[in-house]
Amino acid sequence: MEVCVAGGVVGSQAPRPTSKGRGFPSVLPGHVHPRRPHANRNRSEGWKMECSLPVVPVPVEASVRLVHGWFRDVLRNTCAHEWNRRNTTSPGLRSASQAEAQGAMDLRVVQMEPKHYVQMERLQKICYPTLGEWELMNRDHFQRHHETFPEGQHVAVDLRTGDVVGMSSGLFVHFDLDRPQHTFQDITDQLTFAGHDPLGEYYYGADISVHPEYRRKGLGSKLYNARKNVAVQCNKRGVIAGGLLPGYVRCKGQMDVRTYVDKVIQGELADPTLTFQLCNGFQVRGLLSQYLADSASDNWATLLYWENPGYEPSKAGRTKTAAHPAG
């Protein structure tokens, strides 16, 4: 996709002497240097030997025209080179950047609909290869979620293909941050969300996932923002979630899980999930043992919390329908 454009047009057909590093000829052919006649003679002879042309005196007007033509050629070649540089390599880079931007624009977060159930079930298996099979949600679970709390369920859709490439699910619950220990099966009522309470003080994020081929495109942040928007619109204290630790599998033999989490928080280590959650404003409020069956993290999870800065205690308990997510 690169386009090669020829350089500038050469204006003077006469052979040119070598320059002395200043960008213009130090002595023109046949021109007598007023202060260095000896050096000029050597240069003139050298010019004659190199070009096999007789040394002919050049009138002042001709010298001026020659210098003018030389500068014109240098300017043309310089401009042509710069034009080539900008318009042969840059378009390719711009095309790639535009394609990436266009791809991001074709990804949208919307509320879950029944037509998404089958693809969401498939996405669970792709995104969670280390989970126990009984920990994965299926189309029946998604139907229950949609019937119970449709405003809290979101999917990321590739508008070009219609494929579901990301998802987020959750429910409203009462939660005691001073007694946080729980399991994924308990908080979700065996994945059914039967315990959803419209008056619950917190939005509990049960699941959030993005297809591996669609990561690093901003979808994770959009899904988290959709959760936060539900909490803000419905005046909840914040968002709570149990976060997996997929990177811990690389450090199991070197440190315990608490040390690993501390190092991730301090920035000494990076975890694919926890680091991203911290960047999205979540805080680690503790560790959950035996949270769910996950061979990568030895069944551990972090207790994550995002506090709603706009929470109004005086309006707590009033139900309000969450707005549809934008983007």
Q: By percentage, how much of the chain surpasses pLDDT 70?
A: 65
pLDDT, tens digit, 9 for 90 and up, residues 23-73: 444 444 444 445 555 554 444 444 444 444 455 555 656 555 655 566 566
Q: For each of the domains in the chain, give its residue range(s) and CATH number, in order of start.
A: 167-315 (3.40.630.30)
Beta strand ranges found along 201-245 (DSSP E): 202-210, 238-243
Which carries the bigger pLDDT value, residue 47 or residue 291? 291
Average pLDDT over residues 79-103: 49
Closest CA to 167 of 217, 216, 108, 213: 108
Percent share of the chain, pLDDT over 90: 63
Q: Which of 7-11, 16-20, 114-118 has the highest mean pLDDT?
A: 114-118
Q: Which of 145, 132, 23 is nearest to 73 (CA)?
A: 23
Say how far apart CA 164 and CA 27 lie, in whole Å.
73
Q: How far apart are CA 251 and CA 255, in angstroms?
A: 6
Length of the chain: 327
Collapsing DSSP to helix, strand or coil, 24 comes out as coil
Q: What is the mean pLDDT of the segment spanning 263-285?
A: 97
Question: Does the global pTM surpass 0.85?
Answer: no
Q: How confident is the model at residue 316 (pLDDT cuts 50, 70, 90)?
A: confident
Helix orientation angle between 117-127 and 139-148, rounded to the nearest 10 degrees: 120
